[in-house]
Amino acid sequence: MPLVSSYSVLFYGSPKGYQTDRAQIQLSDAMGKTLAWVRFNDPGMYFEDDGIDGGIIKMHLPSAMFQSVLDVLRNEKPISVYFAHGRGFLGTSGEPVGEGE
């Protein structure tokens, strides 16, 4: 599973967003290679299926999850991203209980 070393955030304006999305978080490895785009959709917007194209994972989540994803990226490590069973996965590795921030 590739480890995420950095991220960047992009918000899309207008009532329709951009290409069905409202915002995007780009995840990259230690060499700066793009690993994934986590894209967020408002209620009522078209939701694309997760996929992988050219080695880049495209994961789609509701806009309500944006802050939670950003909090994990800011406060946890290591973080991995992968694609399996037709969907993207983003998460942390096992951490000790009570480790704190």
pLDDT the model gives residue 101: 57
Average pLDDT along the chain:
91
- pTM for the model stands at 0.88
Average the pLDDT over 40-56 and give the result: 93
Average the pLDDT over 54-62 and give the result: 96
Residue with tokens 């999850």: 65
Q: What's the rounded Cα separation, in Å, for the pair 66 and 25? A: 9
Helices (H), the chain: 66-75
pLDDT at residue 96 greater than cutoff 80: no
Q: What's the rounded Cα separation, in Å, for the pair 10 and 42? A: 15
pLDDT at residue 24 greater than cutoff 90: yes
Q: Where are the domains of the chain?
A: 3-92
